Amino acid sequence: MHDLTYSFLEGIKIAQRALWANKTRTILTTLGIVIGVVTVTLMMMIIQGLNSSFQRQISFIGSGTVYVEQWPWIVMDDWWIYRNRPKLTMENFQDVKEQLELAEVVAAYTWTVRPISFKSNTIDRVGIVGVTPDYVYTGGHVPEYGRFVSELDNRSSRKVCVIGADIKRDVFDPYNPIGRHLRVGAHSYTVVGILERQGTSFGESNDNYVMIPLNTLLDNYGHHRSLSIVSKAKDSNNMDAMVDELTGILRRSRSLQPMEDNNFAINRQEALTDFYKRMTAGIYIAGLIIGGIALAVGGIGIMNIMLVSVTERTWEIGMRKAVGAKTTHILWQFLVESMLICSFGGIVGLGLAALGGAAMDKFLPTSLPLWLALLAVLFSSFVGLVFGLLPATRAARLDPITALRQD
């Protein structure tokens, strides 16, 4: 064992010297490995980044919450089926709200897009969300200042609004928005509350909304809208039971015959998670295949250059053997050299991947955990080991006489 570590350390020195002497060749040879490592590492970094940001972003949906809507969140196929469905009405909402026993809260909302303005500040397109008062209990939309939409606001279609943190900043600054009037399209609303900052999800701000009472929205911007019905379960571990109950209520409310399919979508966090998993699995596999091919090509390049190196240095191997190098000494020398080239490629690739990740961080979240960095370098040196085996064995088996005779 002492002998092994010894030849390993000595091998590193020899390899450094040999590689340094052939700088251009070393760099060119490494290119394949660099590309492979960049590909795999970047893919992994993106997936890591997506994973953590996805978890963060869907957390506001809440795993205990179910959304009944005309459209499913993820439409993969016959979109026209969903388009022709009857809208979800106020009656449907009332039925659910009255009958759904497994729910703690049932709220409804719908939305439109309107320009808003305060004094000379205008934003052309802002999401206007009409909500029932209970909506505050279904997700993260909690007022930081002032209050939320009240029962009375909704029943009387009052012109009040609760604004997101971005609206406060972009439109009202430096004024305190509470009690001031915000123009939304053709109407004017009194600001009664400001929502806590939510942050962004999937690159979109969650703080640029204006919330008004649901009835106000329907009255002012038209009743022909499909509602989203949000139900929060009493027991978030027993979602399926609530979904079953909800489905029954809605089928009755929408007068569906037993043979007919549901003409509404029940959207849950799981649907997103499933979709996400399917999507990233694709990226994962594609990344591994592309990276694997690049690494294999790189590895073959390494093997090739190592074979050339063995041929070039036949006399050197012969001399080393003549002065007492054993088979393992020579084997290690070339294995270490090949591993060193590949680790070098791995480190360069890692650096490039980190730079690339930083560059695309604006539109695609990435993260480079330590284990990934170590894995990248370790794996590339493993590639060096595998593809260095053949040349190293060939070198180690050289007959010292043949080796010496060759010039």
Binding mask 324-363 for another protein (x = CB under 8 A): xxxx-x----------------------------------
Range 328-366 burial, b when 16+ CB lie within 10 A, else e: ebbbbbbbbbbbbbbbbbbbbbbebbbebbeeeeeeebb
Q: Footprint of another protein on residues 381-400 (CB under 8 A)?
A: 400
Our finding on whether 318 is near another protein (CB under 8 A) is yes
Angle subtended at Cα 262 by Cα 236 and Cα 254, rounded to the nearest 5 degrees: 95
Our finding on whether 17 is near another protein (CB under 8 A) is yes
Our finding on whether 219 is near another protein (CB under 8 A) is no
> Which span sits near another protein by CB under 8 A: 143-151, 218-226, 257-265, 311-319?
311-319
> Which span sits near another protein by CB under 8 A: 35-43, 58-66, 92-100, 321-329?
321-329
CB 115 within 8 A of CB 185: yes
Q: How far is the CB of 326 from another protein (least distance, A)?
A: 5
Q: Footprint of another protein on residues 235-264 (CB under 8 A)?
A: none
Q: Footprint of another protein on residues 21-40 (CB under 8 A)?
A: 21
Our finding on whether 142 is near another protein (CB under 8 A) is no
Cα separation, 100 vs 92, whole angstroms: 12
Our finding on whether 139 is near another protein (CB under 8 A) is no
Which residue of 114, 158, 254, 320 would you call a contact of another protein, by CB under 8 A?
320
CB 263 within 8 A of CB 72: no
3-class secondary structure per residue, 296-349: HHHHHHHHHHHHHHHHHCHHHHHHHHHCCCCHHHHHHHHHHHHHHHHHHHHHHH
Which residues, 6 or more positions from 215, have their beta carbon under 8 angstroms from its beta carbon?
130, 154, 155, 157
Omega prior to 174 cis, within 30 of 0: yes
Our finding on whether 77 is near another protein (CB under 8 A) is no
Cα separation, 228 vs 240, whole angstroms: 19
What's the DSSP call for residue 71?
A: S
Q: Which is nearer to another protein, 193 or 318 (CB)?
A: 318
Which residues, 6 or more positions from 403, have their beta carbon under 8 angstroms from its beta carbon?
314, 315, 317, 318, 319, 321
Q: Footprint of another protein on residues 172-211 (CB under 8 A)?
A: none
Our finding on whether 79 is near another protein (CB under 8 A) is no
The string of DSSP codes covering 165-202 is HHHIIIIITTS--TT-EEEETTEEEEEEEEEPP--EET
Q: Which is nearer to another protein, 69 or 337 (CB)?
A: 337
Q: How far is the CB of 350 from another protein (least distance, A)?
A: 28
Given phi > 0 = left and psi -120 to 50 = alpha, else beta, which region is 106? beta
Our finding on whether 18 is near another protein (CB under 8 A) is yes
Q: How far is the CB of 335 from another protein (least distance, A)?
A: 17
3-state secondary structure of 397: helix
Q: How far is the CB of 401 from another protein (least distance, A)?
A: 5
> Which span sits near another protein by CB under 8 A: 3-11, 98-106, 276-284, 341-349?
3-11
> Which helix (H) or strand (E) is 293 found in, with range?
helix 269-312
Residue 252: strand pairing partners: none
Our finding on whether 321 is near another protein (CB under 8 A) is yes
Q: How far is the CB of 337 from another protein (least distance, A)?
A: 13
Which residue of 12, 102, 385, 404 would you call a contact of another protein, by CB under 8 A?
404
Q: How far is the CB of 15 from another protein (least distance, A)?
A: 11
Question: Which chain residues interact with another protein by CB under 8 A?
Answer: 2-3, 6, 10, 17-18, 20-21, 315-316, 318-327, 329, 400-401, 404, 407
